[in-house]
Amino acid sequence: MARKCLIEKSKKDPKYKTRQYNRCKLCGRRRAYFRRFQICRLCFRKLASKGEIPGVKKASW
C-alpha cells in the first residue's frame, strides 16, 4: 500500500511535466501500471478474476 502523502503529492501538478508519474486509482501503487485501465497489475488481476473488467477473461488453451 502506498503512503498517503505520496498519493496526495502525485495529484498535484509538478513543477516540470517530466516529473509526473502514474499511480493506480485503487491502491496508489506506482509500479506495474496499466495505462489502458489506470490500475496496477495486482488490482487488475483481482478485478479480472472476479469478472468486473468488461472484455477481459482468463486465457485457457
Name the one residue in this structure whose C-alpha cell is 497489475: 41
Q: Is 40 annotated as a binding residue?
A: yes
Name the one residue in this structure whose C-alpha cell is 478474476: 49
CA distance 14 to 38: 19
Question: Residue 3: how many CA atoms within 13 Å on its side-chain side?
Answer: 3
Q: Is 43 annotated as a binding residue?
A: yes
Binding-site residues for Zn(2+): 24, 27, 40, 43
Annotated binding site: 24, 27, 40, 43
